[in-house]
Chains A and B, each alone.
Chain A
Amino acid sequence: MNPEDIRYHKEHTWVKVSGRKGTIGITDYAQDALGDIVYVDLPEVDTTVEANSEITEIESTKATSSVISPVSGRIIEINEELSESPEIINEDPYVKGWIAVIEMENHSEIDDLMDASEYEKYVEEESK
């Protein structure tokens, strides 16, 4: 089940908002579609990222895929653990498998994102 307290982007990423901070990661659907993740090209702290653009790339045994940021802002923290153990994303995409924390520029971007039930419907449509 996809958690209720986070927002979802159509490129299968999520953001959990807490004040101005947004923690982002990829969804369970995305990790399942990618298969075993072997490498996360972690972004650098202090770089800025635009919503709907690539924040990093993930390599799985099947593919190399862009991770699209759901929000704009400055990266203030990255999940260093992923550099040693990228498979954490497969095991726990919504909690331990977070990728980065972004200091958000524009809170209203959240409104463009989907909630859990909308995302579930979206995934159902997409996989038809």
Chain B
Amino acid sequence: MMRCAHLDEILNEHTYVDLAPQTRAALDRHLADCPRCAAAWRAHEAVAAVPPIQSDPALFARIVGRLDHASREVRPAAPMLRWLPHVGLSALVAVVALAAVVLERSAPGEPVPGDAADTVSVGAADAVTRFSEGRHYRRLPLAARMVTGDGEVEVVEMFMYACFPCFAFEPHLQTWSESRAAAVRLERVPVTWGPLAALHARAFYAAEALGKSEAIHEAFFREVHVSGNPLDTEAALEAFFARLGVDRVTFRRAFESPAVDERVARADALARRFGIGGTPSLIIDGTYVTGGEMAESYETLVEIVDELVTESATCRGREAPASCRF
């Protein structure tokens, strides 16, 4: 007599097409007696009956063509540089991923031919300001510096691991912050919009508590956006941390610690305080906010931040020039 598990095995391994007559007869008897298996069989046949579809022969060529075209164009449209929860995601991912392609395939900092903006020098000694309030950045009504003092200029990046623009922007931000290491204190703060972002934020601070931020940050982005593993459960995070040398007990201790609770709550409060509506967003010296929707490209976004850092450093001094905008 055939059992339910045997019928499942026949279905799952696709062996129903070659059944011996006596097995087929046993299967039919089982189906007649077992409503649950009969339902499963009926559902299987319904799905299998959907005729296979052929892709449009030109679809692959179109996709390849877009990759090629985007690579030549280099720069995506400004709104596509930012994660906006109300924008259709596939379009967003599509265009921003192409920007990431450029990141992967171009030398860091490589100038874009024919782009006048790249020919303008923006540095500490350059008093000319290229970017304007309202268009390229906005000013917070009240300064909200996280660390007070006249030392390094504080730059806060509000980001989300599930945000593809954040992934694509990361190498730009990293390269820039290393070049300005003496003048800039970069702090990354994950936003906590929704359960997935909150889970990732907790993982971010657990990594920080374990002294593993550097090892995990880029790997986390790549796991989500390149490997396609959303890391959307605690078990998945445990496995991911384990691959990077953090055992389960150590991970859980950090992940569930009150200190991490506090850091996640602080991250949530900061996003509200800065009035952040999309990622990546950058807050310079607790005073200026800029982000993907205010820049034409990731390179321009970095230049905006750089200029505001320069100005913040200059205008913090006791003998701030009259040209200071605040």
Judge: A and B partners, yes or no: no
Residues of A within 8 A of B (CB): none
- Chain B interface (Cβ < 8 Å from any Cβ of A): none
